[in-house]
Amino acid sequence: MTRVQLLDLLKSYLKQIAPDSDPSALQEDDFIKQKLGLDSFDFLQFIILINDELKINIPEENYGQVLTLKNLSDYLVHAGSEKLMNT
């Protein structure tokens, strides 16, 4: 999976969680929660979806490292490089 594909995938997850938001307009450095108006519950749903689909469990203490798409995609590539690159 290329980085662009990963970003698109993450945006599609966000669209699932908040259907009336517009994740396609999200820039890599935007804070995801604030930009899309997500609350803690939505953000947890996002973490759950990542866990279910990509099989990468982001522990709560690492939430601070995944607040933007850029940080999140770096984190995911680092945490599950094999899984992501082979899919």
Question: Which of 37, 87 has the CB closer to other proteins?
Answer: 37
Question: Which of 4, 61 has the CB closer to other proteins?
Answer: 61
Neighbours of 9 (CB within 10 A): 18
Q: What are phi and psi of 68, to 5 degrees?
A: -120, 160
| Residues at the interface with other proteins (CB under 8 A) | 18, 20-21, 37, 39-41, 44, 47-48, 50-51, 57-61
What gap in Å lies between CA 14 and CA 46, rounded to an integer? Answer: 7
Question: Which of 61, 82 has the CB closer to other proteins?
Answer: 61
